[in-house]
Amino acid sequence: MSVILRNQHINEDLIGDFCARCRMLYLSLD
């Protein structure tokens, strides 16, 4: 169970990093 929660937390970090990069690209295009 704790392993699943840990993996979910890692996925959230990856998604957050991905969104941050998209935001930086979007702002640089503007």
Angle at 2 (CA atoms; ends 7, 9), nearest 5 degrees? 30
- Give CA–CA dist 15/7, Å, rounded: 12
| pLDDT band with cut points at 50, 70 and 90 for residue 8 | confident
Domain ranges of the chain: 1-30
Residue holding tokens 């990856």? Answer: 14
For the chain, give the mean pLDDT.
Answer: 82
pTM value? 0.47
User: What pLDDT is stored for residue 1 in this prediction?
Assistant: 58
| pLDDT band with cut points at 50, 70 and 90 for residue 2 | confident
| pLDDT band with cut points at 50, 70 and 90 for residue 14 | confident
